[in-house]
Amino acid sequence: MSTRVFLDNAATTPMAPEIIDMMSEMMKTHFANPSSVHSYGRESKIVVENARKKIASLLNTSPGSIFFTSGGTEADNMAIKCGIHDHKITHAITSKISHHAVLYPLEDLEKEGIIKLSYVNIDENGVVDLNHLEELLQNNARTFVSIMHANNEIGTIQDIKAIGDVCKEYKAIFHSDTVQTMAHFPFNMQELQVDFMAASAHKFHGPKGVGFVYISDDIQIKPLLRGGGQERNMRAGTENIYGIGALSMAMEMAYKNLEEETNYIKGLKKYMIEKLKSEIKDVQFYGKCTDLENSLYTVLSCHFPETDIGEMLLFNLDILGIACSGGSACSSGSSRGSHVLTEISPNSKRPGIRFSFSKYNTKKEIDYTIEKLKDLFS
């Protein structure tokens, strides 16, 4: 059997076997609509509410702050569109390296003439300039600020505590896309001035199609989706109870083993950095991703010397059984250039690859990947 290596965990993660087993069993026993008032429905409702309580306890917040969604994209859109519309916001700030789930709805609102959109300056590593952020907040009306906690392409982490403190000073609404960091980093919502956060279960070994939006008790919005009044009238649609139960379990598993798994994945990342540096001539790295303590430990974004096979590098690795991405995870295989890498290195013609890791990867897989890269660049 040919070797296959999955190093695209920032795009999605394999589901944990325990999660698959739990979902399979729940599908047999909890098939009722949670909105039904009979005993079957009440049993399904208990699954949803217990999951909400568990997630809230892991984030040190109230269950009333957690609203289940179809994933991170819906959570981002809900926060942005409802936060701006319901609070009559006329100015928004983001960064040019934000995920498209943030950029596109903001750009749409700008085109519709609802907001003026400003882009905060970032340095060569993608780190937000807090002084420029404060300047933008000072010189505009009440503002909606959306800054990703960690960039999915280059692994740069933002100081959302400092950003939140600045936003609070100017009464701005602060939304952070935490899809890449939820269940990978600890969160204590009592210490953060964040109004909205987004999460998606498939980024931490849960199923696709389920996530949540955190909404601070200090902020009130109307629903993005109208209908049956589920999620306490905040998100219409019959609840995905199997997904919600799995999301809760995956998150609990992640935080229970957070230190051990973080150290293991950091070890894999460190090992791959060392092997790339020693085996591939002139390999370079984007952002701060070689700084194990100050970058997304699951992501290693690098670029290689210009070569005739540059545009075919991802394809060649795929043929060899190695799954990774060039630029943004969600558009892996797309011929479009990465807006993040274009912003960070606008004139670079060097082929870029993002390797991203999970607890299921091994050093043997790293060795295989390095061996094949050496062959391609020899």
How do residues 195-209 score in pLDDT, each as one tens digit?
999 999 999 999 999
Say whether pLDDT at 359 is over 90. yes
Query: According to the CATH classification, is domain 5-14+258-377 in 3.40.50.300?
Result: no
pLDDT in tens, 360-370: 999 999 999 99
User: In this predicted structure, what is the pLDDT of residue 145?
Assistant: 98
pLDDT score, position 367: 98
Query: Which amino acid is located at 327 in the chain?
Result: G
129-138 average pLDDT score: 98
Q: Is the CB of residue 218 less than 8 Å from the CB of residue 65?
A: no
The one catalytic residue in 82, 302, 324, 330 is 330
Predicted local distance difference test score (pLDDT) of residue 336? 61
Note the pLDDT tens digit of each residue in 99-120.
999 999 999 999 999 999 999 9
What per-residue confidence (pLDDT) applies to 309? 75
CB-count burial class (<10 Å; 0-12, 13-18, 19+) for 65 = buried
pLDDT at residue 332, rounded to an integer: 45
Each domain of the chain, given as residue ranges in start order, spans: 5-14+258-377, 17-256
Least confident span in 44-53, 146-155, 338-347: 338-347
Instruction: Answer whether 331's CB lies under 8 Å from 13's CB.
Output: no
With 60 as the cut, is the pLDDT of residue 330 above it? no
Return d(Cα 79, Cα 279) in angstroms, integer.
45
Question: Is the pLDDT assigned to residue 327 strictly greater than 50?
Answer: no
pLDDT of residue 347: 63
Question: Is pTM beyond 0.75 here?
Answer: yes
Percentage of the chain beyond pLDDT 70 is 97
User: Which pLDDT does position 67 carry in this prediction?
Assistant: 98
pLDDT by residue (tens digit) across 42-79? Answer: 999 999 999 999 999 999 999 999 999 999 999 999 99
Q: Which residues contact 224 (CB under 8 A, 6 or more apart)?
A: 74, 77, 78, 81, 82, 235
For the segment 269-321, what is each residue's pLDDT rounded down to a tens digit?
999 999 999 999 999 999 899 999 999 999 999 998 887 777 789 999 999 99
Average of pLDDT values for 344-356?
83
Q: Is the pLDDT of residue 166 over 60?
A: yes
Q: Is the pLDDT of residue 138 over 70?
A: yes
For residues 368 and 65, give the distance between their C-alpha atoms in angstroms, rounded to a whole number: 45
- Domain 17-256: which topology? Aspartate Aminotransferase; domain 2 (3.40.640)
Residue 5 has pLDDT above 60, yes or no: yes
Active site residue 82: no
Per residue in 222-257, pLDDT (tens digit) is: 999 999 999 999 999 999 999 999 999 999 999 999
Which residue has better confidence, 250 or 342?
A: 250
274-282: which pairs have CB atoms within 8 A and are 24 or more residues apart? 275/366, 275/367, 275/370, 276/302, 276/370, 276/373, 279/370, 279/373, 279/374, 280/304, 280/370, 280/373, 280/374, 280/377, 281/305, 281/377
Is the pLDDT at 333 greater than 80, yes or no? Answer: no
Interatomic CA distance for residues 111 and 304, integer angstroms = 38
| Token couple for 63 | 């269950």
